[in-house]
Amino acid sequence: MTDMTLSLDQVEVLARQALVRAGATVEQAASVARSTRLAERDGIRSHGLMYVPIYAEHLRCGKVLGTASPVVSRPRPAAVQVDAAHGFAHAAIDAGWPEFDAAVREQGIAAMAVSRSYNCGVLGHHAERLAEAGLVGLCFTNAPASMAPIGGTKPVIGTNPFALAVPDGAGRARLVIDQSASAIAKSEIILRARKGEAIEPGWALDADGQPTEDAEAALAGSMLPAGGQKGFGMGLMVEVFAAALSGGNLGLDASPFSGPKGGPPGTGQFFISVDPAAFSGDGFHAAITRLAGAITDQPGTRLPGARRTANRKRIESEGVQVDAALMDRIKAA
């Protein structure tokens, strides 16, 4: 098979079909396939088609249950709880979304917690979904432990990203901040290990707590937090929201997202949504416009999320380049 170019529609269909063949229901597969499409659209290849063989492997080994039916409840007017039942996080989030949206429209602020979950793809896309609905979105997701505290060697928390998206008042996001507590996403180290490439200095430690540029040694050791102690503190904040508050497993107890070992990771997500109209009214958009302008008016600057937006325009036009080896892995899955 030769390399090929796929449209985003074809990417979504390919992902959905592969996941259904691997044992996912149409509902579970559809949510993940849409996430795969969005990742490829934004140039985030590590969470796009490259992840489909991993999802398929995890369906086959039982790390994620493809026939799970999420259970949605609303214990308080502004609180939504979703039990993902060890299925894909994407499907659980979609299942809880109508109640979540209703809660924030009624209350002005609401939260949705997802437990017994799994990797949720690009966290920023969930925050951006809120911004596109005119809401401020703040999202958290925890991950299996891969990052030791400063001075330690034993991982305690995961890379634990958070995402913030702010609406522009016209149905889009003005800015999207999406970053992990680690110096780099673990998926990037996994990608380097698969290709046999070295990682950058400052990304990870080996199992003995020594700095390493060997991707395999890094996976056996510990990720380094971004900004030292500050990054580790950010990761702890995410752990409080995404695990302790949601009812998901702590990173200490979660099985790895990579490889077939262990049962379902049982991690969690926690989303907070705020309706600006409930607090500052039109003053919110005026303030955000002024703040964004103070950044973009300076030569050489850009708003968080601008690179992804630029990728969208190009990829929607040019399509997604898929190499033959990846296509073979997807078809084999």
Q: Which of the residues are catalytic? A: 46-47, 188
In degrees rounded to 5, what are phi and psi of residue 316? -60, -30
First-to-last C-alpha distance (Å) of the chain: 16
Enter the tokens of residue 128.
């951006």
Is 271:115 a contact under the CB 8 Å cutoff? no
The β-bridge partners of 165 are 137, 176
Write the DSSP assignment of 62-111 as a string of letters.
TSS-TT---EEEEEETTEEEEE-TTS-HHHHHHHHHHHHHHHHHHHSEEE
C-alpha distances in angstroms, 21 versus 14, 27, 284? Answer: 11, 13, 47
Of 271, 308, 261, nearest in space to 58 by CA: 261
The span from the CA of 266 to the CA of 186, in Å, is 18
Is residue 107 left, alpha or beta, with left meaning phi > 0 and alpha meaning psi from -120 to 50? alpha
Residue 50 burial by CB count (10 A; 0-12/13-18/19+): exposed, middle or buried? buried
Enter the tokens of residue 1.
């098979």
**Strand, helix or coil for residue 181:** coil
Return the DSSP state at 277: G
**CA–centroid distance for 193 within its chain:** 21
